[in-house]
Amino acid sequence: MKQLPIAAESISPPDVPTILPAPLASRVAGRTKRKLGDHFGLTNFGVNLTQLAPGSASALLHRHSRQDEFIYVLQGKPTLRLNDEEHLLNPGDCMGFKAGSGVAHQLINRSNELVIYIEIGDRSADDEVDYPEDDLKAVFASGGVWKFTHKDGSAY
């Protein structure tokens, strides 16, 4: 099938807004991701056009063992959390998160305006995600599926 350029905003967000387990999913309410990379069948890395409504968060505070991530702010002024530090970002600001660095990160929209940014991440097999503030662990399993457990390994 021939691929043609498309307006990113015309790509619909997924029907399920998050893959986080039910007790934690509400913490990212107000976040909308348009999976641009998936639309084009990309498999080595993902690209999302993400919107954060006022008061919403990009994710739980987290860090990856194997997957690098990158963000570029297009609109709005999100707050970037890096471990215990906070930084106000502006349109045109960017940040990369090196896998295995131990730096946990999260974006929060504490403004009254919509935040829009691009996020890019690789899809390294056997990635593990640590959530330092939550009883949650994620593993990127075979077949490109995330599996979530409590930190002790018990199922959600």
Q: Is the CB of residue 109 less than 8 Å from the CB of residue 78?
A: yes
In tens digits, what is the pLDDT along the chain, a chain of 156 residues? Answer: 678 999 999 999 999 999 999 889 999 999 999 999 999 999 999 999 999 999 999 999 999 999 999 999 999 999 999 999 999 999 999 999 999 999 999 999 999 999 999 999 999 889 999 999 999 999 998 777 899 999 999 998
DSSP assignment of 22-45 equals HHHHGGGTTEEEEEHHHHTT--SE
What helix, strand, coil percent values describe the chain, rounded to 5? 10, 40, 50
Rounded CA-CA distance 50/121 in Å is 13
The per-residue pLDDT for 26 is 95
The per-residue pLDDT for 2 is 78
Asked if CATH classification 2.60.120.10 holds for the domain at 21-125, the reply, yes or no, is yes
Residue keyed to tokens 């929209």 = 109
Residue 107 neighbours by CB distance under 10 Å: 23
The per-residue pLDDT for 3 is 86
